[in-house]
Structures are given as structure tokens and as C-alpha cells.
Amino acid sequence: MESRKKLVYALVGLGVFFLIILIGFSLWKGRSTPVQFIKEDSAFGPVAEGTFYPADPVKLNQWIQSFIQQTPNFDASGRQLFGLIVPHAGYIYSGRTAATAFKLLQGKSIPRVVIMAPSHHAQAQEVSIPGYAYYQTNLGTIPIDREAVQKLKKGRPWITDNPNLYNREHALEVELPFLQTVLGKFQLVPLIIGDSNIELARKLAAALKETLGNDAFYIASSDLSHYHPYSQANIMDRKTLDLIIAKNPEKLSQAADAEGAELCGLGPVMTILSLFQDVPNGKVQLIYYENSGDVVGKKDSVVGYGALGLFY
């Protein structure tokens, strides 16, 4: 009887030992797996094809090539690009302006691109990353950089997969066909910023600086003033552009609060400026500016578009 008890205790002890080993292995293995909200081999998008840009990939490619060929070359004077600020309206309106910026990337090798865009459909004190493995456009799939996403999300509950912020959002997607055309292959870190306050911008900039630093190319997606008469829009946009060129996100935030500056991608622009503030010899330069009145001729109510480069 006593020997039977000893056998039972030994077997129980052995079972507990193997259970502990199994749990420990699972925890160890979990550390190296991709961030959990990413759906394996899944793709998001497109959501803006046929409205903001042509649905037909042949026509889309023709449009982009035409924009790039028609836009003037910008003299970067041998300086390097840290990032870009580009518009996100329909291609018939802002495609020419966007092309002047993206043309600077033609033929370059950039492994990782971070795009920061606003949400036009929902607000939240958070930054959302679509929880998919790829972003799909009519020109093909772009891999989402899982390693970068995992680093960004770790310990930051305000970086989420909130579909309310991205499931109908065009502001990030319209930049992708341009990048696919000028870069070819790259990995994407897609960030939809849910609010335009300076605190969230500073917090995101600090997270990006800590996790990715200079190992990424940064793009902020933003249009300028909306629905003012042509001459008024020009004046307002020039003031906004001057504030961006001054590299001071705090002053830009204050001007926006006082309605002295107007841009729909205020959060992304403040974030990229916060990232750029400490870059040695950093300079923000205007590449191109126009508004919808310059494009279609209707000048009673226009939207402004600016392309800016962040050089060092």
C-alpha cells in the first residue's frame, strides 16, 4: 500500500514537472512570435480605389507616370531626405503636388517607410495600425513590417488596431501607389493618428524615435486649408507653410487652435516635426504648392496642397 502511494506521488510530481516545462516553453516561444493582432497572411484594402485614384491598375500607373514626368525637378543640393509631407486628396486635385515630392525618391532603396495619416471618420486618443500582414492596392501588396509594429506596440496600449480609425480611411492609402511606383519593394508601417493634439504627437514621436530612430523613412499625410476663396486660401496656406518650415510643432499647434493655420493632417505633421527637431542641420523646404483652384479653375471654394521635404 505504501509503495503504491509513493508511485502515485511520483507520477503526480512528474506530471507537474512536465506541465511547468510546457508552460515555460510556451511563454518563451510567445516572445518571438509576431504581435498578436496581426492576422497571418491577410491583406487590408484597397478602400479608396475608383474614387481618389483610378481603380484600373493600368490607368493608375499611367496617371502616376504622367504626374512624375510633368512635374519639375527639385534641386536638393546633394542633401539627404529624412521625410516628406504630402497631400492626400483625389489624384485629379493633388496628384501633381504629391508627385513633386515622391519624384525625389525615384530609384532609391528605402527598406522601411512609416506613413502617418489622420482619420477623417473617427476620433480617439490613440494611434491605430491595421492588424494585417499586408496592405493591398491595385498595384499589388505591400508587406507590413511586423517587427517594427511589435516594437512600437510593446508596452503602449494607446497603439491599437482600431478599425474605426482606418477601415474607410483614404489619407494613408493614396500615398501607397506613388511609393510602389518610385520605390518598388519596401516594408510599411501604417499609422492612423486618431487626434490632432500636441501631446499625442509628442508621444508618438518619442515612441518612433526610441524604436525605429533613423532606420525608417517618414511621411506625413496632410492637405492644407479647406473651402476658402482662392486668395484667402493662399494667404492662410502661406502662413501655415511658414510655421511648418520653422520646425516648431508647438507654435503650429497654437496657430491651429487660434484658427491661424489650417491643415487636416495636423497630428501627422506635428509628429514628423517633433521627430525632426533634433536632426543636425535639419531643414524643411517647400517643394511645391498649389490649390484646387489652380488645377480645376474653380476658385470660390478651394483646398490647399503642399509638398515639403525634410532635408539634412
Please give the Cα distance from 213 to 211 (Å, whole number).
Answer: 6
Q: Is the pLDDT of residue 1 over 90?
A: no
Secondary structure class of 13 (helix, strand, coil): helix
Q: Is the pLDDT of residue 115 over 90?
A: yes
Q: Is the pLDDT of residue 19 over 60?
A: no
Residue 41 pLDDT level (bands cut at 50, 70, 90): confident
Q: Is the pLDDT of residue 33 over 60?
A: no
Q: Is the pLDDT of residue 28 over 60?
A: no
Would you state the cell numbers that stand for residue 46, as one nine-digit string? Answer: 484597397
**pLDDT value at position 13?**
52
- Asked whether 89 and 224 are in contact (CB, 8 A), the reply is no
Q: What angle do CA 277, 309, 229 make, to 5 degrees?
A: 105
More confidently predicted of 267 and 39: 267
Query: Which residues have C-beta within 8 Å of that of residue 13, sequence separation ≥ 6?
Result: none
Q: Is the pLDDT of residue 236 over 80?
A: yes
Q: What's the predicted TM-score (pTM) here? A: 0.87
Q: What is the pLDDT of residues 54-96, one digit of tens each?
A: 999 999 999 999 999 999 899 999 899 999 999 999 999 999 9
Q: Is the pLDDT of residue 31 over 90?
A: no
Q: Is the pLDDT of residue 30 over 90?
A: no
The amino acid at residue 128 is S
Q: What is the pLDDT of residues 166-176, one digit of tens each?
A: 999 999 999 99
**pLDDT value at position 32?**
32
Q: Is the pLDDT of residue 5 over 80?
A: no
Phi-psi group of 212: left, alpha or beta (phi > 0 → left; psi -120 to 50 → alpha; rest → beta): alpha
Q: Is the pLDDT of residue 4 over 60?
A: no
First to last CA, the chain: 82
